């Protein structure tokens, strides 16, 4: 699998930006993180962190937490604020990929593109879906914020069947993304080994999207991350194929997202709290809370052709080719 330069650049930008931020508060202010309000969603106010000054001059959060506040589960409103004039894809560095022609010139998009799951949207070619999704990704330069503590309460009121069964290229309507809220997107393609035995999109993918994210909030003072990614393989005239992968439910003691292999089948979490909360909630709809099949990747190829005899692997492990020399330290 080969990744475009966009992902590498995005990760470098994210790393350098994080290095400039000495505290969580400064980090949130730098990216103008969203701040949920009751009944609205404002992205113009930086997150305020209330703290009391300790005896040695450091900042400490209050020991006793106040009563839980209802945080409105309202989807953030898109603010089309990008003004850099760039495409952030092949058009910025190799405009002759398609012989100087615009490959999206003949795309005719549905009038309603709010939810990317309508018959008109699914009927589009993979390259037109690629452009539509990427245009939406680039609209708003602000980043989401992480959720903590009682803010996860609404997660346990959600129907987990939607997570496993909804066929769409957007989040289910009215659902707020509480886990993996902060991530970086990239266009990808799959260039398979000529002797690989699998069918469908394992034979090659020209138009795909990848989102790498951290599961929950991290801080520079605690060396722990819990990275994962989602891959969306776009197909002509039909639904996409999707792959989800992580290293482990419990995360890793490193700031290097690429330190460990990621897999499509996870072991159950070792953390007892996680087993009794999110693990139990996922178990209401599946007997395999850490496992996702890649069967749909093998059933149809990127042109929408059905395979007569689909063949797919039971499990996939992903190992990054790290040419940047990332370390375990916070950068």
Concatenating the DSSP letter of every residue in 263-328 gives ESBPPPPS-HHHIIIIIHHHTTT-S-TTB---HHHHHB-TTSPBPSS----S--EE-----S---S
Q: Where residue 26 falls among pLDDT bands split at 50, 70, 90?
A: low
User: Between 24 and 310, where is the model more confident?
Assistant: 310
pLDDT on residue 227:
93
pLDDT on residue 210:
96
Cα–Cα distance for residue pair 225/215, rounded to 1 Å: 8
pLDDT on residue 243:
96
Cα–Cα distance for residue pair 81/34, rounded to 1 Å: 14
Which residue, chain included where needed, has tokens 């659902």?
175
Q: Please work out, in degrees rounded to the nearest 5, the angle formed at the alpha carbon of residue 316 by the alpha carbons of 180 and 122.
A: 65
Average pLDDT of the segment spanning 194-220: 94
What is residue 7's three-state secondary structure?
Answer: helix
Average pLDDT of the segment spanning 94-114: 92
Cα-Cα end-to-end distance for the chain:
26
pLDDT over threshold 80, residue 80? yes
**Residues ≥6 apart with Cβ < 8 Å to 41:** 34, 72, 74, 75, 76, 77
| DSSP H/E element including 5 | helix 5-20
pLDDT over threshold 90, residue 300? yes
pLDDT over threshold 70, residue 47? no
Cα–Cα distance for residue pair 303/291, rounded to 1 Å: 27
User: Between 115 and 298, where is the model more confident?
Assistant: 298
pLDDT on residue 240:
96
**Residues ≥6 apart with Cβ < 8 Å to 323:** none
Cα–Cα distance for residue pair 20/23, rounded to 1 Å: 9
pLDDT tens-digit readout, 118-163: 999 999 999 999 999 999 999 999 888 888 888 888 888 888 887 7
Give the helix, strand, coil percentages of the chain, each rounded to 5. 25, 15, 60
Q: Tokens for 95? A: 């405009």
pLDDT over threshold 70, residue 15? no
Q: What is the largest CA-CA distance in the chain?
A: 71
CA-wise closest residue to 37 among 79, 68, 69, 78? 69
pLDDT over threshold 70, residue 45? no
Average pLDDT of the segment spanning 67-91: 75
Average pLDDT over all residues of the chain: 79
User: Between 3 and 224, where is the model more confident?
Assistant: 224
């Amino acid at each position: 699998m080969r990744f475009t330069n966009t992902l590498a650049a995005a990760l470098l930008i994210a790393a350098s930006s994080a290095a400039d931020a000495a505290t969580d508060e400064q980090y949130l202010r730098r990216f103008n993180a969203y701040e949920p309000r009751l009944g609205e969603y404002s992205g113009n106010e930086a997150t305020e962190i209330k703290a009391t000054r300790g005896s040695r001059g450091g900042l400490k959060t209050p020991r006793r937490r106040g009563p839980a506040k209802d945080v409105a589960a309202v989807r953030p409103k898109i603010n089309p604020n990008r003004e850099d004039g760039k495409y952030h894809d092949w058009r910025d560095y190799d405009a002759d990929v398609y012989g100087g022609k615009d490959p999206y010139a003949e795309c005719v998009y549905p009038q309603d593109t709010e939810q990317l799951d309508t018959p008109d949207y699914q009927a589009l070619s993979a390259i037109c879906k690629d452009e539509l999704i990427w245009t939406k990704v680039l609209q708003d330069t602000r980043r989401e914020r992480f959720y903590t503590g009682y803010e996860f309460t609404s997660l346990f009121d959600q129907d987990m069947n939607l997570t496993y069964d909804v066929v769409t290229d957007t989040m289910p309507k009215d659902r707020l993304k509480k886990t993996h809220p902060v991530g970086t997107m990239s266009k990808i393609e799959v260039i398979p080994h000529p002797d690989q035995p699998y069918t469908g999109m394992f034979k090659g993918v020209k138009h795909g999207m990848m989102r790498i994210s951290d599961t929950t909030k991290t801080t520079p003072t605690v060396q722990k991350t819990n990275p994962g990614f989602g891959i969306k393989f776009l197909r002509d005239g039909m639904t996409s194929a999707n792959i989800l992968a992580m290293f482990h439910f419990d995360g890793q003691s490193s700031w290097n997202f690429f330190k460990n292999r990621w897999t499509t089948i996870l072991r159950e979490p070792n953390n007892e709290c996680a087993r009794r909360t999110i693990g139990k909630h996922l178990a209401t709809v599946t007997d395999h809370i850490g496992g996702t099949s890649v069967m749909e990747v093998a059933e149809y190829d990127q042109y929408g052709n059905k395979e007569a005899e689909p063949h797919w692997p039971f499990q996939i492990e992903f190992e990054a080719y790290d040419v940047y020399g990332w370390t375990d330290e916070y950068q």
